[in-house]
Amino acid sequence: MKSKWLGMVSVTALMVGAQVSGAFAAGLDDLVAAAKKEGSLTTIALPHDWCGYGAVIDAFKAKYPEITINELNPDAGSGDEIEAIKANKGNTGPQAPDVIDVGLSFGPSAKADGLIQPYKVSTWDSIPDSAKDADGYWYGDYYGVLSFLVNDDIVKTAPKSWADLKNSEYANSFALTGDPRVSNQAIQSVYAAGLANGGQPGKDAGEKGLAFFAELNKATNFVPVIGKAASVAQGTTPIVVNWDYNALAWRDGFQGNPKAQVIVPSDAVVAGVYIQAISAFAPHPNAAKLWMEYLYSDEGQLGWLKGYCHPIRFNDLASKKAVPADLLAKLPDAALYAKAVFPSLDEQAAAKEAITKNWDASVGANVK
């Protein structure tokens, strides 16, 4: 009895110590034990074909079978995830998310609103400084560039750039893959369109992007729905814009029917980083931390690589020669990434403000 008490006290002390100092989780075994005791982890907005999350989740489940994963709303956008934390503030039930995976610009605002708690994984030092919060509140997980996914069976000549999209042969064809008022993917798409139209990084590109979409809407090239793999294949939205890893994953999912290609627009290559964070009100904080440890381990990072994402520790893994050659070959061309623009936090924040506030007013694209 006494030894059990001591054991529990030491576990608690370690947990408290880990939280307070934010130091690396020295007591990884204790973390595993504590996580297993919690027995469950609630995730949100993780589609199984996004960065290969399906395989990553399955691998986590196989490694820790005592922890059941409760997956909420895979179609949620970054904004929806933040709302879910807010809405479930006092709730310890299965509707409250433990961990979130949101766009870069959503990190600082979530920290300011007190919605996330800090945690530094054991591989913290190998995450580039530009992609993490110094206090450990949020940390980049993977990145990719925006690209077009084109259904070749329906679209005879694929668009090569944002400017091409205005062509009249693409009537009733082009859609975003998210709601530009909440989805990071969609907001960045509008931003990229703005950059392609000569916008300065930041608010200007946001506004020029809105103008571009207003034009596209008037020309009836724009279909004001959220494009999905199904709608691309079934032809209701044969051209969509999304992250290259998603486009590649969807293309694979078609299994040749229809034929599709992934094209990075020539007039603007915008890269985007996503970040992980643990909810400040997480009902299962230890399971959440264990999840983070897994994601940032070599195994987790390679899991994302399989899903065509560039994991944030890519350079670290490459220098250790930990990346299998065949996976490396399947990734998009490194030359494209050389041209890629990584919008800074301030630029993203300014553009996001402009786009989310003014989408309804300036583009006014309601489903007609």
Partner 1 sequence: MKRGSRFWSWVIFGLTVAYFILPLIATFEFSLRIRREGYTFDAYAIVFADPKFQQTFLYSIVIGICTIIVGLLITVPAAYYVRLKAPQLRPIIEFVTLLPLVIPAIILVFGYIRLYNSSSILPLTNSNLGTDVLLTFAYVALALPYMYRAVDTGLRTIDVRTLTEAANILGASQVTIISRVIFPNIIVAVLSGAFLTLAIVIGEFTIASLLNRQVFGVYMQNIGANKAYTPQALAVVSFVITWGAMGMIQLLARFAPKTARTT
Partner 2 sequence: MANVSATADSNTGPVSTGPVVRSGGNPFRFLGALSLGDYLAIAPFVIFALMFLLVPTLGLVVGAFVDAQGNFTLQNIAGLDDPQIMRAFTISVEISAITALLGSGIGLVIALAVIRGGLPSAMRSSLVTFSGVASNFAGLPLAFAFIATLGRLGLVTIILKTLFGFDLSRSFNVISFWGLAVTYLYFQIPLMILIIAPAIDGIKKEWNEAAATLGATNRQFWLWVGLPILWPNLLGSLSLLFANAFGAIATAYALTGSSLNIVPILLYAQIQGDVLHNPGLGAALALGMIVITAFANVIYLVVRTRAERWLR
* Residue 32 or 99 having the CB closest to partner 1: 99
Residue range at the interface with partner 2 (CB under 8 A); choices 82-90, 126-134, 185-193, 305-313: 82-90
- Separation CA 20–CA 29 (nearest Å): 18
Residue range at the interface with partner 2 (CB under 8 A); choices 30-38, 77-85, 132-140, 263-271: 77-85
218 binds partner 2 (CB under 8 A): no
Rg of the chain over Cα atoms, rounded to whole angstroms, equals: 21
Placement of tokens 């034990």 in the chain: 33
Strands (E), the chain: 40-44, 68-72, 99-103, 116-117, 139-151, 174-176, 239-243, 260-263, 271-279, 310-311
> Would you tell me the crossing angle of helices 28-38 and 2-21 to the nearest 10 degrees?
100
80 binds partner 2 (CB under 8 A): yes
Residue range at the interface with partner 2 (CB under 8 A); choices 17-25, 228-236, 247-255, 267-275: 228-236
Buried b (16+ CB within 10 A) or exposed e, 86-96: eebeeeeeeeb
Nearest approach, Cβ of residue 177 and partner 1 (Å): 11
Nearest approach, Cβ of residue 172 and partner 2 (Å): 5
Residues 27-66 binding partner 2 (CB under 8 A) are none
Among partner 1, partner 2, none, what binds residue 86 when CB lies within 5 to 8 Å by partner kind? partner 2
- The distance of Cα 59 from the centroid of its chain, to the nearest Å, equals 19
Nearest approach, Cβ of residue 356 and partner 1 (Å): 23
* Residue 9 or 87 having the CB closest to partner 2: 87
Look up residue 316 and give its amino acid: D
* Residue 27 or 47 having the CB closest to partner 1: 47
* Residue 22 or 235 having the CB closest to partner 2: 235
For residues 272 and 177, the answer to whether their CB atoms sit within 8 Å is no
224 binds partner 2 (CB under 8 A): yes
Among partner 1, partner 2, none, what binds residue 167 when CB lies within 5 to 8 Å by partner kind? none
Residue 198 neighbours by CB distance under 10 Å: 11
DSSP string, 2-60: HHHHHHHHHHHHHHHHHHHH----S-HHHHHHHHHHH-EEEEES--TTSTTHHHHHHHH
* Residue 88 or 286 having the CB closest to partner 2: 88
Nearest approach, Cβ of residue 147 and partner 2 (Å): 21
- The distance of Cα 341 from the centroid of its chain, to the nearest Å, equals 17
For residues 45 and 100, the answer to whether their CB atoms sit within 8 Å is yes
Please pick, from the candidates 145, 182, 229, 270, the single residue that binds partner 2 as defined by CB under 8 A: 182
- Separation CA 150–CA 292 (nearest Å): 34
Among partner 2, partner 1, none, what binds residue 266 when CB lies within 5 to 8 Å by partner kind? none
Residues 6+ away with beta carbon under 8 Å from 329: none
Which residues contact partner 1 by CB under 8 A?
A: 47, 49, 70, 72-75, 90-95, 228-230, 233-234, 253-254, 256-258
Q: Can you give the binding site for partner 2, defined by CB under 8 A?
A: 73, 75-76, 80, 83-84, 86-87, 154, 171-172, 179, 182, 223-226, 228, 231, 234-238, 360, 366-368
